[in-house]
Structure 1
Amino acid sequence: MGVAERGPAAATFGAPGLEDPARGERRTGRTAAQHRFRLVDLSRGERPGRPALATDEPRPLDSPAVPALLAVHPFVASLVGRLLLLVVAAVAGGLFMLRAWQLYGFVRLGQPVDRLQDLPKRVEYEATVVIGQKKILQRALPGIMHAFIFWGFLVLLTTIIEAIGEVFQESFAIPLIGRTAWLGLLQDTVTVMVMIGLAIALYIRKVQRPDRFKGSHLEEADFILVMIFGIMLTLVMLNASRIALGVNESPVAWTPVSHLFAPLFEHMSRHAAAFERLFLWAHLVLVFGFLAYIPFSKHLHIFTSAINVFFSNTKPRGYLRPLDLDMEKMESGDVKLGAATITDLTWKEELDLYTCTECGRCQNVCPAWNTGKPLSPKLLIMNLRDHLFEAGPELVKAKRSGTEVEQTPLNPNIIEDEVVWDCVTCGACMEECPVNIEHIDHIVDMRRNLVMGESRFPAEAGTLMRSLEQSQNPWGQAQSERAAWANGLGVRVLEDGPAPEYLYWVGCAGSFDDRAKKISQAVARVLQKAGVPFAILGPRELCNGDPARR
Structure 2
Amino acid sequence: MNPIITGLLLAGAVSLFIITMSGRVGVLLAMKKENRLDHIPYRVAQLVRFGLGQKRMVDPEEFTPGLFHIFIYAAFMVLAVRTIMLFVMGFSSTALDVLTDLSHPAWDVAPPLLGLYKVYLLVKDIVAALALAGVAYFVWTRWKVKPDRMSQSWEAYLILGFIAGLMITEFMFGGSHMVAAHAAAQQVPVGATQVPAAPSAMVWWEPVTSLMGLAMMPLGVTASHVLGVVGFFIHLTIILAFLNFLPLGKHFHIITGLPNVFFQRTHSTGKLPTPNLEKEEFGTATVKDLTWKNGLDLYSCTECGRCQTHCPTYITGKPLTHKAVNQDLKHWLWDNERWVEEGYGPNGVKEPLPEIIGSALKAETVWACTSCGWCEQACPVFIENVPRLIDMRRYQVQVKAEFPPEIQRVFEGMERQGNPWGLGQDRRDEWAEDLALPTWGDGGEYEYLFFVGCAGSYDDKQKKVSRALVKIMREAGVSFATLSKQEMCNGDSARRMGNEYLYQTLAKTNVESWNAMGVKAVITQCPHCFNTIKNEYPEFGGEYRVINHTQLINELLKDKRIKLSSVMNAGTKLTYHDPCYLGRHNGVYDAPREVLKSIPGLEVVEMQRSQREGFCCGAGGGRMWMEEHIGTRINHNRMNEAALTLKHAEDPNTPYPDAADKKKPGMVGDYKEPGGKGIVAVACPFCSTMLNDAKNDTGREQIQIKDITELVADSMETSNKGGTVSPSPVVSAKPE
Give the TM-score normalised by structure 2: 0.59
Matched, 1:315 2:264: no
Give the deviation of 1:186 after TM superposition: 0.7
Q: Which of 282, 288, 305 in structure 1 is aligned with 2:257?
A: 305
Which residue of the partner structure matches residue 509 of structure 1? Answer: 455
Q: Which of 73, 78, 84 in structure 1 is aligned with 2:5?
A: 84
Q: Which of 124, 127, 133 in structure 2 is aligned with 1:187?
A: 124
Which residue of the partner structure matches residue 395 of structure 1? Answer: 340
Contact 1:141/1:200, CA 8 A, preserved across alignment: no
Q: Name the SS for the 2:222 alignment partner.
A: coil
Q: Which of 287, 292, 295 in structure 2 is aligned with 1:347?
A: 292
Matches within 5 A, 1:368-407: 368-398=313-343, 404-407=350-353
Q: Which of 160, 164, 170 in structure 2 is aligned with 1:225?
A: 160
Which residue of the partner structure matches residue 497 of structure 1? Answer: 443
Seen in structure 2, the aligned counterparts of structure 1 residues 471 and 121 have a Cα distance that, compared at 3 Å, is same
268-277 vs 525-534, which moves further: 525-534
Q: Name the SS for the 1:503 alignment partner.
A: strand
Supply the distance in 2 between the matched residues of 1:99 and 1:177 (Cα, whole angstroms). Answer: 39
Seen in structure 2, the aligned counterparts of structure 1 residues 480 and 247 have a Cα distance that, compared at 3 Å, is farther
Matched, 1:463 2:409: yes
Q: Which of 180, 192, 197 in structure 1 is aligned with 2:134?
A: 197
Give the deviation of 1:549 after TM superposition: 1.0
Instruction: After superposition, give the CA deviation of every residue in 1:464-518 in whole Å (9 maximum; x if it has no partner).
Output: 1011112211122232343445566775443412231122323223433455556
Seen in structure 2, the aligned counterparts of structure 1 residues 512 and 87 have a Cα distance that, compared at 3 Å, is farther
Matched, 1:273 2:225: yes
Give the deviation of 1:420 after TM superposition: 1.1
Give the deviation of 1:444 after TM superposition: 0.9
Q: Name the SS for the 1:320 alignment partner.
A: coil
Q: Which of 253, 257, 267 in structure 1 is aligned with 2:204?
A: 253
Supply the distance in 2 between the matched residues of 1:518 and 1:283 (Cα, whole angstroms). Answer: 70
Seen in structure 2, the aligned counterparts of structure 1 residues 523 and 386 have a Cα distance that, compared at 3 Å, is farther
Unaligned runs of 5+ in 1: 1-77, 330-334
Supply the distance in 2 between the matched residues of 1:456 and 1:172 (Cα, whole angstroms). Answer: 69
Which residue of the partner structure matches residue 409 of structure 1? Answer: 355
Give the deviation of 1:277 after TM superposition: 1.4
Instruction: After superposition, give the CA deviation of every residue in 1:377-417 in whole Å (9 maximum; x if it has no partner).
Output: 111111111111112223313389xx952222211332111
Give the deviation of 1:523 after TM superposition: 4.8
What RMSD over aligned residues (CA atoms) do the two structures have, in Å?
Answer: 2.6
Q: Which of 43, 68, 72 in structure 2 is aligned with 1:149?
A: 72
Q: Which of 89, 97, 101 in structure 2 is aligned with 1:166?
A: 89
Which residue of the partner structure matches residue 136 of structure 1? Answer: 57
Q: Name the SS for the 2:251 alignment partner.
A: coil
Give the deviation of 1:366 after TM superposition: 1.6
Which residue of the partner structure matches residue 477 of structure 1? Answer: 423
Instruction: After superposition, give the CA deviation of every residue in 1:186-222 in whole Å (9 maximum; x if it has no partner).
Output: 1111012211221222232222212222xx4622111
Supply the distance in 2 between the matched residues of 1:426 and 1:521 (Cα, whole angstroms). Answer: 28
Contact 1:177/1:183, CA 8 A, preserved across alignment: no
Q: Name the SS for the 1:108 alignment partner.
A: helix
What is the letter of the counterpart of residue 312 of structure 1?
A: Q
Supply the distance in 1 between the matched residues of 2:476 and 2:388 (Cα, whole angstroms). Answer: 42
Seen in structure 2, the aligned counterparts of structure 1 residues 526 and 354 have a Cα distance that, compared at 3 Å, is farther
Seen in structure 2, the aligned counterparts of structure 1 residues 515 and 246 have a Cα distance that, compared at 3 Å, is farther
Which residue of the partner structure matches residue 75 of structure 1? Answer: none
Give the deviation of 1:530 after TM superposition: 4.5
Contact 2:343/2:353, CA 8 A, preserved across alignment: no
Supply the distance in 1 between the matched residues of 2:469 and 2:333 (Cα, whole angstroms). Answer: 48
Which residue of the partner structure matches residue 211 of structure 1? Answer: 148
Contact 1:181/1:251, CA 8 A, preserved across alignment: no
What is the letter of the counterpart of residue 192 of structure 1?
A: A
Contact 2:343/2:352, CA 8 A, preserved across alignment: no
496-505 vs 134-143, which moves further: 496-505
Seen in structure 2, the aligned counterparts of structure 1 residues 185 and 353 have a Cα distance that, compared at 3 Å, is same
Unaligned runs of 5+ in 2: 100-106, 184-200, 497-736
Supply the distance in 1 between the matched residues of 2:170 and 2:461 (Cα, whole angstroms). Answer: 61
Give the deviation of 1:451 after TM superposition: 0.5
Which residue of the partner structure matches residue 716 of structure 2? Answer: none
Seen in structure 2, the aligned counterparts of structure 1 residues 107 and 178 have a Cα distance that, compared at 3 Å, is farther
Which residue of the partner structure matches residue 238 of structure 2? Answer: 286
What is the letter of the counterpart of residue 199 of structure 1?
A: A
Q: Which of 115, 129, 139 in structure 1 is aligned with 2:36?
A: 115
What is the letter of the counterpart of residue 96 of structure 2?
A: E
Supply the distance in 2 between the matched residues of 1:528 and 1:207 (Cα, whole angstroms). Answer: 61
Matched, 1:103 2:38: no
Supply the distance in 2 between the matched residues of 1:96 and 1:389 (Cα, whole angstroms). Answer: 15
Contact 2:320/2:369, CA 8 A, preserved across alignment: yes
Contact 1:166/1:172, CA 8 A, preserved across alignment: no
The size of the alignment, in residue pairs, is 459
Give the TM-score normalised by structure 1: 0.78
Supply the distance in 2 between the matched residues of 1:201 and 1:465 (Cα, whole angstroms). Answer: 49
What is the letter of the counterpart of residue 93 of structure 1?
A: V
Supply the distance in 2 between the matched residues of 1:133 and 1:441 (Cα, whole angstroms). Answer: 24
Q: Name the SS for the 1:135 alignment partner.
A: helix
Contact 2:162/2:242, CA 8 A, preserved across alignment: yes
What is the letter of the counterpart of residue 130 of structure 2?
A: M
Which residue of the partner structure matches residue 179 of structure 2? Answer: 244
Contact 1:511/1:517, CA 8 A, preserved across alignment: yes
Supply the distance in 2 between the matched residues of 1:342 and 1:287 (Cα, whole angstroms). Answer: 33
Which residue of the partner structure matches residue 337 of structure 1? Answer: 282
Give the deviation of 1:177 after TM superposition: 4.8
Q: Give the fraction of aligned pairs with identical amino acids, expressed as a percent.
A: 34
Supply the distance in 2 between the matched residues of 1:145 and 1:472 (Cα, whole angstroms). Answer: 53
Q: Name the SS for the 1:424 alignment partner.
A: coil
